Amino acid sequence: MSVRDLVGRHFSARQQSDVLSGRVRVGLFVAGVVAILFAPFAQAVHPFWMDLATHMFIFALFALSLDFVFGYAGLLSFGHAAMFGAGGYAAALLIQNATASALVVLPVAVLVGAAIAALIGWLSVSARGIYFAMLTLAFAQLFYTVAFNDIPAMLLGLEAVTNGDNGLVGITSLTLFGVDTGSLMAYYYLSLAMLGGMLALVTRLANSPFGRVMQAIRENEDRVAFIGYDVDRYKIVAFTISGGMAGLAGGLWVPFNSTATTAMLHWTTSGELIVMTLLGGMGTLWGPIAGAFLVVFLEDSLSAIGNWEIYLGIVYIVIVIFAPRGLAGIFRTVRSNPDPRVLLSKARSALATYREKVFS
Amino acid sequence: MPSERMSDEKRSVQFSRRKFLAGSGATVAASLAGCFGGGAGSSGSDSVKIGFVLPFSGTYSFLGESIVNGVKLRLDEQLDGEIDGRSVEYVRKDTGADPATGASITQEFLQSENVDFIVGPVSSAVAGAMKPEIASSGSAIWLNANAGNYKLVQDNCTKYHFRTSFNTWQTSAPLASYINDNIADNVVLSYANYTFGQQSKNLFREEFENVGGTVVDEIGAPLGTSDYSSFLQEIENSGADAVFSFFAGSDAVNYIKQFSSFGLNGKMTQTGSGFLLSADTLQAQGTAALGMYSLLHYTPTKQTDRNQAFVDAYSGQYDTTPNVYACQGYDSALAAELAVTEAGGTETDPMVSSLAGAELDSPRGYFKFKSSTHDPVMDMDIRQVVEADGGVQNEVVETLTQVEGPTWGCDL
Amino acid sequence: MAIEGVAKTVLLGVEMGMTLVLVTVGLTLIFGMMDVINFAHGSLYMLGAYFGLTVVTVTGNWWAALLVAPLLVGLLGGLIEYFSIRPLYGRNPLYHILLTFGFAILLHGLVTEIWGGQVQNIATPALLEGSVDLALFSYPLFRLFLLGVSIAVAAVLWAAMRRSDFGIVMRASAHDSEMVDALGTDVKRVFTAVFVLGSILAGLAGVLLGTSRAVDPGMAASIIIQAFAIVVIGGLGSYRGAVVGAFVVGMLNAFGPTFAPQFTDALLYLLMAAVLLVKPAGLFGNPEGA
């Protein structure tokens, strides 16, 4: 019995239609092991690689939260920055004024994100498709304006709460069981653990009856309603869970950068997230994680060269047109058709379809 | 002609980028060598490493590039890439004017790249995020090349911070007596409603009321407003004889153009902090800005030998006239040069001692780092916009010498 | 506020509103026809300003820019529709917003690369400088010109949609494109034409507003959110809705500063959210058109 069989048995999907097939689970397991071993390696060679990797993990978590509602339940949200930012600011205020214990700060960030999402979700749920997206955009921009003008300070009569365009700075790192997680390596493992944990949780959710209903809603909302499910409630719950995860990402992001700023709440952050999710492959859960890694890496490495927007924009547009299932889709196609000739003919037929749609 | 200037700018950007790319190979090799060789402390004892924490994309990219141009003019062109026999290396990363990115780049520069100097940022919000890192690290000197928020000095001032730019008091309050004496004893304030705007108008107001003037009204507009019509109505309704404003960048262009188009130029005198009417906005503002006053520490048309030499050198190198950001960059280079030369090395604390209280031969005029705050003591120019061939430019009307400003309780 | 003040503010609101109509009517028509939310609409507007800038620099003639720049933007819009949006028809409409969002990013990068990031402006033509005396108050001539152009364009468009053959086909396609296709009209060509039309309008707005306002790469982002708010309030796909929505927002921008200068941004989003909550399809929107 090979190692693969052994591992595969532990990670086999229960059903064919499970999210994250057996093969992918094995792949993720391997990736996880690599990630765990990477830290000491980086520490010895170039510690700052861990910083970039942590950046990737946190945004991967953020992308995962969006994929759960969008790729999975079909709810496009242009306002996920609101939950990300809210979780972040909550973490910042807690660390500054109460405690830096991760056991308190992170759950609070989750709760704040979830609460905001529940509110926005409840208010927006009756809108469909593009209208829902526009509503989330409107609400997120409202939050941005509130934070930028420090309206909480105005209302509470304090000098500063969100501190407007300067944001909150000098946020110290989290402590876990009394241990300061401020070192590169400690924060690396913390973020990795959060990402892994959330991925596992979301997979469980996705494969549960709840998840099945969500998928059904994505496919045909009316039919699900006709069967008797309270579609709105499912949507709100899904959005809330997603918001909690986004809040967690924010709660991790703030101590990592020691700042909480209004940029976290801006619609361009939501937009960046959508780029990551789409590039990675919506609905696959692991795809957006890869998408986040890619985008963070590109932005970092291209920033010295110059206008990364042009390169990223072109790549993104090409993928939307020719590979709408993103990297995950490409990977899947390559995997199930290892013969390069088959791949070539697939590519050619894709081009032919394109030509037909455009020129006919 | 605008197109020439456009391609000038582009050429200067390309030029500096080309130069950087040529140098970056060496930089990458050096930093990698540092990594694999278990790099000891500062980047080798015989080099000076400068990290640029500046925006190179987005709205402020032009400012970031100007600062880099200024630094490189001094260190590469005039000093042949060496300070006191030590070769100069650069690293640069794009903050995109995002404080979180700025903080993380600063961390990287301090811990991984082991820079000796950090030059930047453009935005005060980014500066606020950078400060705790630099203060606790103590391994590099921060040459603040544009962030003017006075609170950087007021709250927990750090000795590693040296401002080669200005603070918000200096670009607003000193104009108060000039206006009161020469223009009007009553003003209305208009500003962009964010920290920089709020600070400028508050500090101005305090000073203006101190010298006996009256502030009739305050009108704040959201940052990024593109149509100021209604706000201009309010300004007109206030009945004041003069306006003091803070707007910058595209806000400044929108505000001034619309101020003039509504005919307010004839009814009230518009004055403001220098960024309202500076070299990078005047080209777009055009004749709408004629006759308006502003206060800034650097004017390219200032007729002094020192400035002329700088302007000639800069134009010769980059095919375009320098602006205040370039001057701030240049002065940062002068500061680095002085620090390393006087301290005989790149050890941070000796460099701090050399810089505190030191004077720089700046194109702007008098420049000295105040010992207690490390903020500049410098000449401030009051300028008025006049016609010039092909457009408009600032002409210095009066120079206020050795303007200091409060210490805000900082005593280093 | 004195009566002159109120009157002037009303005129300001009308003028700002009508200017916004130019920007938004293309956006709403494109959605109504093709279910495409054009996130790049702000970028097309921005390109109108930058093309205008270049034409003025090259020819020295503002009026030439007024004519040429919108056409150039129309051409670009047509190319974008032809080569990248067309292949997506039939897919989940959310892909359109994703695609056009990518174009917004790309165009922003291209503009910054080609024209640079510093702020610029198209100089007001000599003929349109100065103010006009309107009994109670004086008003800038250029802004009146802007108002006139916007009203004229809106009126012509309205008439064309009602009366012309193309207008009828357009409205029919918005209603039921499959049927129109079955009846023999090449619906794809109609879609392209509408997209080109919307782009021309955005480009025209860009040249005009690039004269009275600053031109910089950030102008796309700042206009697109306002534009979205307006079409959402008015009803996605409804021409009437875009006009009314623009009007409402224009008035908001005009009167807001008097009462709540700090919150003019927030008010817009509140209004947008309020309308979406009460009537998701917008004031004049078609509830089926989701």
Tokens encoding A62: 């953020």
How many interchain CB pairs under 8 A, B with C? 121
Within B229-323, residue ranges assigned H as helices are: 229-238, 249-261, 279-285, 305-318
Tokens 């292949």: give the residue. C87
SS (H, E, C) A258-295: CEECHHHHCHHHHHHHHHHHHHHCCCCCHHHHHHHHHH
Q: Work out the number of other CB atoms within 10 angstroms of the CB of residue C253.
A: 23
Label residue B21 by pLDDT band (50, 70, 90): very low
Q: Is the pLDDT of residue C288 over 70?
A: no
Q: What is the maximum alpha-carbon separation in chain B?
A: 69
Torsion angle of C-alpha atoms C232, C236, C238, C244, degrees rounded to 10: 10
Which residue, among C3, C119, C122, C145, would best test binding to B if mutated, counting the most B CBs under 10 Å from its CB? C119
Residue A288 has what pLDDT?
A: 93
Chains in contact with C, where contact means 3 or more Cβ–Cβ distances below 8 Å, are A, B
Label residue C287 by pLDDT band (50, 70, 90): low
Residue of B57, B94, B195 lying closest to A166 (CB–CB): B195
What ipTM was predicted for this assembly?
0.91
DSSP strands (E only) in B155-209: 161-163, 186-192
Q: Is the pLDDT of residue B288 over 90?
A: yes
B92: part of which helix (H) or strand (E)? strand B86-94
B42 phi and psi angles, rounded to 5 deg: -70, 160
Average pLDDT over residues B243-247: 96
Q: Are strands B367-369 and B293-296 parallel, antiparallel or unpaired?
A: unpaired
Whether B99 sits inside 8 A of A51 (CB atoms) is: no
Orientation angle between helical segments B305-318 and B324-343, nearest 10 degrees: 100
Within chain A, residue ranges assigned H as helices are: 3-11, 22-45, 48-69, 80-97, 102-124, 129-148, 151-156, 184-207, 209-219, 221-227, 231-257, 267-280, 286-302, 308-322, 326-336, 340-359
Whether B149 sits inside 8 A of A166 (CB atoms) is: yes
Residues 48..77 of C with a Cβ closer than 8 Å to A: which?
A: none
Q: Are A326 and A280 in contact (CB under 8 A)?
A: yes
Whether A309 sits inside 8 A of C262 (CB atoms) is: no
For a pLDDT cut of 70, what percent of chain B falls above it? 89
Residues of B in contact with C123 (CB under 8 A): 286
Asked if B289 has any chain C CB less than 8 Å from its own CB, the reply is no
Asked if C223 has any chain A CB less than 8 Å from its own CB, the reply is no
Whether B94 sits inside 8 A of A304 (CB atoms) is: yes
**Which residue type sits at B191?**
Y
From residue B27, give the alpha-carbon distance in Å to each of B31, B33, B70, B88, C110: 6, 10, 20, 10, 28
Residue A2 has what pLDDT?
A: 59
For a pLDDT cut of 90, what percent of chain C falls above it? 48
Asked if C121 has any chain B CB less than 8 Å from its own CB, the reply is yes
Rg (CA), chain A: 21
Task: List pLDDT tens digits, range B109-165.
Answer: 998 889 999 998 999 999 999 999 899 999 999 999 999 999 999 888 999 999 999
Task: List pLDDT tens digits, range B39-66.
Answer: 334 445 678 999 999 998 777 888 999 9
Q: Work out the number of other CB atoms within 10 angstroms of the CB of residue B338.
A: 19
Residues 23..62 of C with a Cβ closer than 8 Å to B: which?
A: 53-54, 57-58
Q: Work out the number of other CB atoms within 10 angstroms of the CB of residue B33.
A: 12
The rounded distance, in Å, linking the Cα atoms of B307 and B309 is 5
Label residue B96 by pLDDT band (50, 70, 90): confident
Residues of B in contact with C267 (CB under 8 A): none
Residue of C54, C215, C258 lying closest to B230 (CB–CB): C258
Residue B39 has what pLDDT?
A: 36
Concatenating the DSSP letter of every residue in B349-380 gives HHHHHHHTT-B--BTTB-EEE-TTT--EEEEE
Whether C269 sits inside 8 A of A141 (CB atoms) is: yes
The rounded distance, in Å, linking the Cα atoms of C164 and C148 is 23
In three-state secondary structure terms, A108 is: helix
SS (H, E, C) chain C: CCHHHHHHHHHHHHHHHHHHHHHHHHHHHHHHHHCCCCCCHHHHHHHHHHHHHHHHHHHCCHHHHHHHHHHHHHHHHHHHHHHHHHHHCCCCCHHHHHHHHHHHHHHHHHHHHHHCCCCECCCCCHHHCCEEEECCEEEEHHHHHHHHHHHHHHHHHHHHHHHCHHHHHHHHHHHCHHHHHHCCCCHHHHHHHHHHHHHHHHHHHHHHHHHHCCECCCHHHHHHHHHHHHHHHHCCCCHHHHHHHHHHHHHHHHHHHHHCHHHHHHHHHHHHHHHHHHCCCCCCCCCCCC
Whether A46 sits inside 8 A of B112 (CB atoms) is: yes
Label residue C90 by pLDDT band (50, 70, 90): confident
Chains in contact with A, where contact means 3 or more Cβ–Cβ distances below 8 Å, are B, C
Classify the C-alpha dihedral A128-A129-A131-A135 as positive or negative.
positive
From residue A304, give the alpha-carbon distance in Å to each of B28, C113, C204: 12, 15, 36
Q: How many residues does chain B have?
A: 412
Which residue, among A120, A132, A141, A354, would best test binding to C if mutated, counting the most C CBs under 10 Å from its CB? A141
Whether C123 sits inside 8 A of B253 (CB atoms) is: no
Kindly give the confidence (pLDDT) of every residue in chain A, 360 residues in length, as a single tens digit, with 9 standing for 90 and above. Answer: 555 555 555 555 444 455 667 777 888 888 888 888 888 888 888 878 888 899 999 999 999 999 999 877 888 899 999 999 999 999 999 999 988 888 899 999 999 999 999 999 998 888 877 888 888 998 999 999 999 988 888 888 888 888 888 889 888 888 887 777 777 888 899 999 999 999 999 988 888 888 888 888 888 888 988 988 888 899 999 999 999 999 999 999 999 988 999 999 999 899 999 999 989 988 888 899 999 999 999 888 877 666 778 888 998 999 999 888 888 888 888 888 788 888 888 888 888 888 888 886
Residue of C8, C115, C219 lying closest to B233 (CB–CB): C8
Asked if C145 has any chain B CB less than 8 Å from its own CB, the reply is no
Interface of A with C (CB under 8 A): 76, 123-124, 126-131, 133-135, 137-139, 141-142, 145-146, 149, 267-268, 271, 274-275, 278, 306-310, 312-314, 316-317, 320-321, 324, 353-354, 357-358
B403: part of which helix (H) or strand (E)? strand B391-403
pTM exceeds cut of 0.95? no
Q: Are A73 and A235 in contact (CB under 8 A)?
A: yes
Chains in contact with B, where contact means 3 or more Cβ–Cβ distances below 8 Å, are A, C
Residue B43 has what pLDDT?
A: 46
Asked if C108 has any chain A CB less than 8 Å from its own CB, the reply is yes
Whether A170 sits inside 8 A of B132 (CB atoms) is: yes
Q: Is the pLDDT of residue C239 over 60?
A: yes
The rounded distance, in Å, linking the Cα atoms of A75 and A133 is 8
Whether A142 sits inside 8 A of C276 (CB atoms) is: no
Tokens 């990219």: give the residue. B61
CB within 8 A of A138, min separation 6: which ones?
A: A79, C229, C232, C269, C272, C273, C276
Residues of C in contact with A358 (CB under 8 A): 82-83, 86-87
CB-based burial, B160-190: b 16+ in 10 Å, e otherwise: bbbbbbbbbbbbbbbbbbbbbeebbebbbbb
Rg (CA), chain B: 21
Residue B35 has what pLDDT?
A: 38
Asked if A44 has any chain B CB less than 8 Å from its own CB, the reply is no
Residue of B24, B100, B124 lying closest to A263 (CB–CB): B100
Asked if B224 has any chain C CB less than 8 Å from its own CB, the reply is yes
Classify the C-alpha dihedral C275-C279-C285-C289 as positive or negative.
positive
Residue A3 has what pLDDT?
A: 58
Residue A356 has what pLDDT?
A: 83
Residue A172 has what pLDDT?
A: 86
Q: Is the pLDDT of residue C64 over 80?
A: yes
The rounded distance, in Å, linking the Cα atoms of C118 and B2 is 12
Residue C84 has what pLDDT?
A: 92
Residue C117 has what pLDDT?
A: 81
Tokens encoding B256: 């001034």
The rounded distance, in Å, linking the Cα atoms of C125 and C66 is 11
Whether C218 sits inside 8 A of B58 (CB atoms) is: yes
From residue B288, give the alpha-carbon distance in Å to each of A77, B245, B259, B385: 43, 15, 8, 10
In three-state secondary structure terms, B88 is: strand
Residue B231 has what pLDDT?
A: 93
Label residue C179 by pLDDT band (50, 70, 90): confident
Higher-confidence residue of C179 and C191: namely C191
Chain B closest CA to C182's CA: distance in Å? 46
Q: Are C213 and C52 in contact (CB under 8 A)?
A: no
- Shortest CA distance from B253: residue in chain C: C214
Concatenating the DSSP letter of every residue in B40-79 gives -TTT-TTEEEEEEEE--SSTTHHHHHHHHHHHHIIIIIIS
Within its chain, how far is the Cα of B344 from the centroid?
28
- Shortest CA distance from C137: residue in chain B: B262
Whether A317 sits inside 8 A of C98 (CB atoms) is: no
Task: List pLDDT tens digits, range B250-273.
Answer: 999 999 999 999 999 989 999 999
B295: part of which helix (H) or strand (E)? strand B293-296
Residue B4 has what pLDDT?
A: 37
Q: Are B293 and B30 in contact (CB under 8 A)?
A: no
Residues 154..183 of A with a Cβ closer than 8 Å to B: which?
A: 164-167, 169-170
- Shortest CA distance from A296: residue in chain B: B101
Q: Work out the number of other CB atoms within 10 angstroms of the CB of residue A355.
A: 11
- Shortest CA distance from A149: residue in chain C: C262
Which of these, C226, C224, C215, lies nearest to C112 by C-alpha position? Answer: C215
Task: List pLDDT tens digits, range B294-309.
Answer: 999 999 999 999 999 9
Q: Is the pLDDT of residue C104 over 90?
A: yes
Whether A320 sits inside 8 A of C221 (CB atoms) is: no
Tokens 């004031």: give the residue. C283
Q: Are A102 and A176 in contact (CB under 8 A)?
A: yes
The rounded distance, in Å, linking the Cα atoms of B305 and B316 is 16
Lowest mean pLDDT among A238-242, B24-28, C227-231: B24-28
Label residue B27 by pLDDT band (50, 70, 90): very low
Mean pLDDT of chain C, nearest integer: 88
Residue A299 has what pLDDT?
A: 82
The rounded distance, in Å, linking the Cα atoms of C121 and B258 is 12
Residue A9 has what pLDDT?
A: 52
Whether C213 sits inside 8 A of B222 (CB atoms) is: no
Label residue B34 by pLDDT band (50, 70, 90): very low
- Shortest CA distance from B7: residue in chain C: C115
Asked if A45 has any chain B CB less than 8 Å from its own CB, the reply is yes
Classify the C-alpha dihedral A44-A48-A53-A57 as positive or negative.
positive
Whether A259 sits inside 8 A of B103 (CB atoms) is: yes
Q: What are the residues facing C140 on neighbouring strands?
A: C131
The rounded distance, in Å, linking the Cα atoms of B344 and A39 is 38
Q: Is the pLDDT of residue C105 over 80?
A: yes
Task: List pLDDT tens digits, range B179-199.
Answer: 999 999 999 999 999 999 999
Tokens 């990797």: give the residue. A53
Which of these, B133, B18, B117, lies nearest to B65 by C-alpha position? Answer: B18
Which residue, among C118, C145, C146, would best test binding to B if mutated, counting the most B CBs under 10 Å from its CB? C118
The rounded distance, in Å, linking the Cα atoms of A253 and A85 is 9
Orientation angle between helical segments A48-69 and A286-302, nearest 10 degrees: 140
C133 phi and psi angles, rounded to 5 deg: -90, 115
